[in-house]
């Protein structure tokens, strides 16, 4: 074999070796991309600040500790524990039951439908409302419109300020409203709190 042919053979072998390396690297990179875009995660613990955007599905036992922000369409299935300051935005589905422990708060206007039940001495509570109203001076009562109120509802009222001349107060529930009453003219415009339970 002459010198020229040997040179070509060596060059060809080097090109072939490079091609194999490029293909192997490309395949490895492709596999990483597929793995990074797969959003099904099992038995994973997340700590510190965690943010997820887009469509994310967690299956299995998931523990999120710290400040967690779940944005977009998020589904939590299985046994899930979320501790710390948590913000949930977008369409959110909780399956297999949800337990809220310690101090729990819901933002203004939040609606809890379906799987949330409040009970008191074995009686199921289907609606709870709180608010304020006023009893004007020269009167002993006022009607407060309240959707869902019936004659069998429970309404508790209490003064938000010193009650003036009034010494006791009560509420009479009716259909779609209740009447907040005091025993006598308070002598001033009296602000009252109410809590409605049905």
pLDDT, tens digit, 9 for 90 and up, residues 34-65: 344 444 444 555 555 555 665 666 656 566 65
- Measured in whole angstroms, the distance separating CA 140 from the mean position of its chain's CA atoms is 42
d(CA 158, CA 169): 7
Asked if residue 25 has pLDDT above 50, the reply is no
Taking alpha carbons only, the member of 80, 53, 75, 76 closest to residue 64 is: 80
Structure-block tokens of residue 153: 């509802």
Going along the chain from its start, the domains and CATH numbers come out as 37-95 (no CATH), 123-197 (2.60.40)
pLDDT digits (tens, 9 = 90+) for 91-119: 566 555 555 555 455 544 455 554 445 55
pLDDT tens across 139-149, in order?
999 999 999 99
SS3 state of residue 123: strand
Both ends of the chain: CA-CA distance in Å?
100
The two structure tokens encoding residue 52: 């997820």
Q: Which residues contact 60 (CB under 8 A, 6 or more apart)?
A: 41, 42, 43, 44, 77, 78, 79
**DSSP summary character for residue 85:** S
Half-sphere exposure of 17 (CA within 13 A, CB side): 6
Tell me the three state secondary structure of residue 172. strand
Per DSSP, the three-state class of 197 is strand
Measured between alpha carbons, how far is 106 from 89 in angstroms, rounded to an integer?
13
Distance of CA 24 to the CA centre of its chain: 45
């Amino acid at each position: 074999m002459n010198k020229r042919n040997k040179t070509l053979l060596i060059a060809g072998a080097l090109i072939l070796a490079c091609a194999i390396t490029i293909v192997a690297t490309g395949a490895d990179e492709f596999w990483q991309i597929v793995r990074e875009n797969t959003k099904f995660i099992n038995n994973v613990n997340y700590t510190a600040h965690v943010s997820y955007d887009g469509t994310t599905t967690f299956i299995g036992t998931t523990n999120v500790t710290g400040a967690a922000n779940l944005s977009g369409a998020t589904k939590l299935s299985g046994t899930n524990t979320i501790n710390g300051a948590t913000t949930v935005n977008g369409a959110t589905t909780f399956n297999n039951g949800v337990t809220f422990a310690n101090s729990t708060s819901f933002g203004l206007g939040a609606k809890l439908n379906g799987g949330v039940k409040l009970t008191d001495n074995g009686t199921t509570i289907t609606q709870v409302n709180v608010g304020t109203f006023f009893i004007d001076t020269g009167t002993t009562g006022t009607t407060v419109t309240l959707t869902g109120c019936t004659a069998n509802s429970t309404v508790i009222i209490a003064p938000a300020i010193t009650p003036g001349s009034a010494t006791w107060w009560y509420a009479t529930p009716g259909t779609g409203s209740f009447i907040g009453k005091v025993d006598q003219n308070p002598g001033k415009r009296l602000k009252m709190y109410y809590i409605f339970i049905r």
